[in-house]
Structure 1
Amino acid sequence: MATIRKRVRKNGTASFQVRWLQGGRGGTWEAERFEDPEQADTFRKLVDAHKQQWPYGWIPGQGFVEPEQDPDDVPLTDRARRYVDRLTGIDPRTRDDYRREVDRHISLMVHTTRSGLVMPATIGNITADDVRDWVRLQEAGQPDAKPGRWVRRPASPKSTANRHGLLWCIVQAAIDADPPLRTKNCCARPRRLADRYRHAVG
C-alpha cells in the first residue's frame, strides 16, 4: 500500500510525499511529491489501483500528459474570452454581460481525467462528463461556512440554460476554427438558446 509522508519546511509550509514499493514487496522505493494533501491522496489511490506501479500516462514530476493534446490548446477561460471579444452584432453592454458569465461561471469548469485526476479545463480537454459536473455545480450553488449564507447561490434553470448555450457556442467555435481545435462538441446543444449566442466563430 502506498503511504503519504508530510514534510514541514523551515518556513512552515508543508509538502506531501507519496511513497510505495514499485511492484510491491521486494521492489524499489518510488516517490512523488505534492503541495496539496488531497492531490497526494488521489495519487496514492491511483498507485494502489495500479498495483503499486506508476499510473499509466503519469510522468514523474509532471503528472498526466495527454499526447493527443493539440499544441494550440489553451485554457478554456482564455478561449472563451477570445470568443466573446470577437462576437459581432452585439452592443457593448451585451459583450460585458457575456464576459461576466465567462469570468464568474464558465471559469468554474474543470477537467477530470479517466483516472480521476482533476486538472484545469482547456478548450481541447473538456468532456461531456465535465459539462454535466459543471451544470450540477450551477444548480447546487456553493454554500458558505456560515449557515444560511452562500458563496454562490444556486442558478435558476433559465440562467443555467443560458450559460450552457454560451458554452456550446464557445466549444463549437473551436470546432469551426481553422485549423480546428476539437472534432466534437461535448455540450448537448440547447434548442434556440445556442443560436442566440452564435454571432461569430473562430
Structure 2
Amino acid sequence: MEQADAFKKLFDAHKQQWPFGWVPGQGFVEPERDPDDAPLTDWARRYVDRLTGIDPRTRDDYRREVDRHISLMVHTTRSGQVMPATIANITADDVQDWVRLQEAGEHDPKVGRWVRRPASPKSTANRHGLLWCIVQAAIDADPPLRTKNCCANTRLPRVDDGTSEEMVFLEQEEYQLLRRHIPDAAARDLAD
C-alpha cells in the first residue's frame, strides 16, 4: 500500500503522466537519463547552497565534503556498467559501495602511498548523514525526483570497530598494595 501511495504521488507530481522511466506492464526500467535529473554533485552543491540556519564555516565544510567525498559516488547499472551518479539514479547498492570506499580508502600501489586515507567510522557516518539529507531533498522537491531515500537502512561502520574492552577489577589485596604505593594523601583519597 505504501508503494502504491508513493507511486500515486509521483504520478500526480508529473501532472498525471507516467513518470520518466516507467513502462506500463514493466514498472520502472533503467532509463538512459532523465532530462530533469541532475548530476549528484551538482544537486548536492545546490542543496548546501540553499541551506538556511547554518553559519558560513559549516556551509564551507559541507561543500568540502561534497567535493572531496560525495563526488566519489558512482552508479552501477544492473548490467554492471559504471556511470556518473545522478540524484535520481543512485541506489542503496551504490551507497553501500561508497561507504565501503570510505572505510577502505584508496591506496595507489604504483607509488606506494594513499591517494585517500580510510575514513574513521565517525567521519563516514557524518558524510552519510549529509548524503541522506541531500537525497531526502530530492524526495521533497516539487516535483519529486525520487520516491524513496536510498541511504535509509545503510549499515555503517561501528564507532568501536566491533571490539569491546573487558573491564578489569582489582582484588582487595591488589587494591591495598596499590594504595600503599601512592605517596600523596590527596591522591590516595582520589583512589578511594
Shift in Å, 1:69: 4.8
Greater share of residues in helix: 2
Task: State which of 15, 39, 42 in structure 2 corresponds to 1:78.
Answer: 42
Distance 2:139 2:79 in 1: 26
Aligned residues: 125
Alignment deviations for residues 135-175 of structure 1 (CA, whole Å, 9 cap, x no partner): 0000000113333x211000000000000000000000000
Task: State which of 33, 43, 62 in structure 2 corresponds to 1:98.
Answer: 62
Alignment deviations for residues 26-54 of structure 1 (CA, whole Å, 9 cap, x no partner): xxxxxxxxxxxxxxxxxxxxxxxxxxxxx
Counterpart contact for 1:131–1:187, Cα < 8 Å: yes
SS for the counterpart of 2:75 is: strand
Greater share of residues in strand: 1
Alignment deviations for residues 45-95 of structure 1 (CA, whole Å, 9 cap, x no partner): xxxxxxxxxxxxxxxxxxxx9448532101000000000000001110100
1:112 counterpart residue number:
76
Distance 1:122 1:167 in 2: 12
* Pair 1:183–1:69, CA change in 2 (3 A): farther
Q: Which runs of 4+ in 1 moved over 4 A?
A: none
Distance 1:68 1:183 in 2: 18
SS for the counterpart of 1:111 is: strand
TM-score scaled by length of structure 1:
0.59
Task: State which of 121, 128, 146 in structure 1 corresponds to 2:111.
Answer: 146
Letter in 2 for 1:86: R
Larger Rg: 2
Question: Is 1:121 equivalent to 2:85 in the alignment?
Answer: yes
TM-score scaled by length of structure 2:
0.62
* Pair 1:135–1:124, CA change in 2 (3 A): same
Counterpart contact for 1:80–1:170, Cα < 8 Å: yes
Distance 1:85 1:189 in 2: 27
SS for the counterpart of 2:64 is: helix
Unaligned runs of 5+ in 2: 1-28, 155-192
**Higher relative contact order at CA 8 Å, sep ≥6: structure 1 or structure 2?**
2
Unaligned runs of 5+ in 1: 1-64, 191-202
SS for the counterpart of 2:136 is: helix
